[in-house]
Amino acid sequence: MNDVPKIRLQGVQKRFGPKVVLDGVDLEIPRGKSLVVIGGSGTGKSVMIKCVLGLMRPEKGSIQIDGEETVGLRGDARDRLMRKFGMLFQGAALFDSLRVWENVAFGLIQGRGMGRVQAKKLAQEKLGQVGLGAEVGELFPAELSGGMQKRVALARAIAAEPEIIFFDEPTTGLDPIMADVINDLIVHCVEQLGATTLSITHDMASARKIADRVAMIHKGKIIWTGPVEEVDRSGNPFVDQFIHGRAEGPIHMEVRRP
Amino acid sequence: MNPFAAVGRAFITFLRTAGKLGIFGFHGVRHIFAPPFYMRLIGQQIMSIGYYSLPVVGLTALFTGMVLALQIYIGGSRFNAESLVANIVVLGITRELGPVIGALMVAGRVSAAMAAEIGTMRVTEQIDALTTLSTNPFKYLVAPRLLAATLMMPLLVLIADIIGVMGGYIVGTGKLGFNEATYLQTTYDFLEASDVVSGLVKAAVFGFIIALMGCYHGFHSQGGAQGVGRATTNAVVSASILILFANYLVTELFFSK
Ligand SMILES: Nc1ncnc2c1ncn2[C@@H]1O[C@H](COP(=O)(O)OP(=O)(O)O)[C@@H](O)[C@H]1O
Ligand SMILES: [Mg+2]
């Protein structure tokens, strides 16, 4: 049982009209490991995660969780599967009509039918874990800074203690110090839960900190994957260009030169 | 460009939209009747659709009743029918103007607000977040709005009917010189239960349309702030047109025996 990967994608294809975004993605994440996917903007990283979550349906390919095929799953089976997941969205995606603590407790109250009093206590505990006091819980998301919103979103993602957590650009748009705080929180929370994680980033400092393995996506395919220690000597010109952030190399940004 | 192809394409787009709308509405209604029920949310919607629409609907009904009395008097005097003011006011308000004008006003207020709120939730991924937190967006967002609007619209229209008739009474007795007691007596004699009921049935249908359009356009909005703006406009315009169309259908159903 233990050699069945927690998450396995095989030949996943997703297109929007004529535009092919994912063109046969193969990926495996062993139980309890942390994979970080790197790649340029608009290469389909968020789309890939949404396919795994079932928010989008791929045209082709297979996505297995614990060895069970999940593409096309609906109804109760999909609901049961959803409970395994926690997700930190790129833009935090906090519910702005609800208070911070209600956001964190949302999955517990609505999804699992926990009482509000107990859920509030748990939410405050989770907020504490991401370094926010109970008084923050009474505020609305619009009253928080970007870094605090990300922390609340992190608390919400881990509140129901999911087996699998996705982080979509957890540090994008934050200053380097706050980014490192978030990285530490992610590492800490994941260790505590023993969760399997799939993260997306183009922040290499973040990738080095949270990854066991790194995969690079380019033009809808995974072009390199390996342990995080080897990312500097991958021998792959695409990876080298990306981690050193050079404009010259095999990856061409679509910028018209004057 | 080939005009036949253009017409054909427009027709196919129309059918596709109608189909999507039908499925959307079906799921919305299905979730009204399947547990769990979000009582807090239903309560919130009842407040924001019903209670907060009262001033708008009340004022429109008042002015409509007033102008109706005036017009009937002026028009009726051409063939000595100016005594019919009370009769026609009560008929016109309960059958048509109460429900239709009330619904159009609520459409402007409520469809727009729903489309903007749900549309913003869509483009900021809050709807995706609901799903990942094991909450069905149809049950959480669409069902409470459909239910609350369908229940509250008849109540609003009942109030609009009363205020509208009162507007007619104010102008009729204050300006046109009708006797107070006679005016009320005529109104009362001419008031038919079937007129009021048909108006309330219309109101329920309109309420459903208002919420459906707001939710549908919000749900399918895309592309940031501009997309939400477009969704809001489309919600109000399509709700208004569908209300007038449904008004004809229900009237036909009730009165063409
Ligand atoms: N719902 C959608 N409809 C159409 N195109 C989309 C949609 N979502 C994403 N895309 C397109 O897919 C591509 C990849 O998007 P995304 O996965 O968000 O990129 P990133 O790797 O930066 O996360 C983009 O070019 C985007 O325009
Ligand atoms: Mg993205």
Enumerate residues with CB within 5 Å of ligand 2 (an ion): A 46
Protein residue whose Cα sits closest to atom 9 of ligand 1: A47
pLDDT at position A75 is 83
Of residues B121, B124, B133, nearest to A110 (C-beta): B133
Peptide bond into B36 cis (omega under 30): yes
Q: B128 and A95: CB-CB below 8 Å?
A: no
**Distance (Å, whole) CA A245 – CA A204:** 10
- Number of structural domains in chain B: 1
Instruction: Report pLDDT digits (tens) over B63-83.
Output: 999 999 999 999 988 888 888
Instruction: Give the number of whichever ligand sits closest to the CA of residue A44.
Output: 1
How confident is the model over A248-257, as pLDDT tens digits? 888 876 656 5
A110 near B CB under 8 A? yes
Q: Choosing among B47, B128, B132, which should be mutated to test the A contact, i.e. which has the most A CBs within 10 A?
A: B132
The verdict on A79 touching B (C-beta cutoff 8 Å) is yes
The whole domain housing B150 covers 19-249
Give the tens place of pLDDT for each residue, A88-129: 999 999 999 999 999 999 999 987 889 999 999 999 999 998
CA distance B60 to A246: 64
For residues B159 and A108, the answer to whether their CB atoms sit within 8 Å is no
Residues 6+ apart with CB under 8 A from A226: A213, A214, A234
Cα angle value A31/A106/B136 (rounded, 5°) = 85
Residue of B nearest to A80 (CA): B134
Q: Find tokens 């025996």 and name the residue.
A: B257
Residue B11 belongs to a domain: no
Under an 8 A CB cutoff, do A86 and B128 touch?
no
What average pLDDT does the structure give for chain B? 94
List strand residue ranges (DSSP E) for chain B, in order.
none
The average pLDDT across B122-130 equals 95
Q: Is residue B136 part of a domain?
A: yes
Question: What was the ipTM of the complex prediction?
Answer: 0.91
Question: Which candidate, A196, A189, A162, places its Cα nearest to that of A7?
Answer: A196
Q: Across the interface, do A111 and B124 touch by the CB < 8 Å criterion?
A: no
Distance CA A228, CA A214 (A): 6
B19-29 pLDDT, tens per residue? 999 999 999 99
Dihedral of CA atoms B151, B156, B158, B162 in degrees, nearest 10, equals 170
User: Which residue in this structure is represented by tokens 């069902």?
Assistant: B143
CATH architecture of the domain covering A32-40+74-211+222-244: 3-Layer(aba) Sandwich (3.40)
Could you state, in chain order, the average pLDDT of each consecutive group of 10 residues for chain A (258 residues)?
Answer: 84 94 94 93 93 94 94 88 93 94 93 89 92 93 93 93 94 87 88 92 91 94 94 90 86 65
pTM, two decimals, is 0.91
Residue with tokens 């990926």: A27
Q: What is the mean pLDDT of residues B32-40?
A: 89
Q: Report CA-CA distances (Å) from B188 to B95, B169, B192.
A: 15, 12, 9
Q: Which helix (H) or strand (E) holds B26?
A: helix B3-33
What residue type is assigned to position B71 of the chain?
A: Q
The CA distance from A245 to the nearest CA of chain B, in Å, is 29
Q: How far is the CA of A195 from the centre of ligand 1 (A)?
A: 27
Pick the closest to residue B206 from B249, B167, B142 (CA basis): B249
Q: Does B23 map to a domain?
A: yes
With an 8 Å Cβ cutoff, are B125 and A93 in contact?
Answer: yes
B135 chain-A contacts, CB cut-off 8 A: 106-107, 110-111
Half-sphere exposure of B196 (CA within 13 A, CB side): 16
Domain annotation covers residue B12: no
Distance of residue B126 Cα from the nearest chain A Cα, in angstroms: 5
CA distance B116 to chain A (A): 13
Question: For chain A, what's the residue count?
Answer: 258
pLDDT of residue A256: 60
Domain limits, chain A:
32-40+74-211+222-244
Report yes or no on B4 lying in a domain: no
Q: Is residue B32 part of a domain?
A: yes
- What is the pLDDT at residue A255? 59
Nearest CA owner, ligand 1 atom 23: A46
Which atom of ligand 1 is nearest the CA belonging to A39? 21
* Residue-wise DSSP of A87-135: EE-TT----TTS-HHHHHHHIIIIIT---HHHHHHHHHHHHHHTT--GG
Q: What is the pLDDT of residue A175?
A: 86
